[in-house]
Amino acid sequence: MPKPGELNERFRLDYPGIWNAFAHLAEECHNAGPLDERTRRLVKVALSLGAGLEGATHSAVRHAREGGVTREELDHIAVLGITTLGFPAAMRALSWLDDEQS
């Protein structure tokens, strides 16, 4: 099974127009409001975890870590999810966070 980065690269090469349009949309979304880069990265992690999207979570965690977000801060997002998403979802979140932080 290809790794997510490999799939992204294959998609980028096979569908450059779609890839560029999506990248442009992502940039516009990130710059559409008052949130700073770090806050946007934390929100993206929380959204990915809340939606139960493993691949998106891995990507969001990589970007957050590149932006200086600590492991403890990311773990706190998962812990906060216990009362909103439930204990099993929070444990799933911690597992996905571990995938990118090991």
pTM: 0.86
| Tens digits of residue pLDDT in 70-86 | 999 999 999 999 999 99
Residue 25 sits in the same domain as residue 41: no
Residue 42 sits in the same domain as residue 20: no
Where do runs of H (alpha helix) occur along 52-86? 54-66, 71-80, 82-85
Count CA atoms closer than 13 A to 91's CA, side-chain side.
Answer: 3
Gap between the Cα atoms of 97 and 33, Å rounded:
27
Residue 13 sits in the same domain as residue 2: yes
Which structural domain range is residue 97 located in? 36-102
Residue 29 sits in the same domain as residue 55: no
Residue 14 sits in the same domain as residue 41: no
| Tens digits of residue pLDDT in 18-59 | 999 999 999 999 999 999 999 999 999 999 999 999 999 999
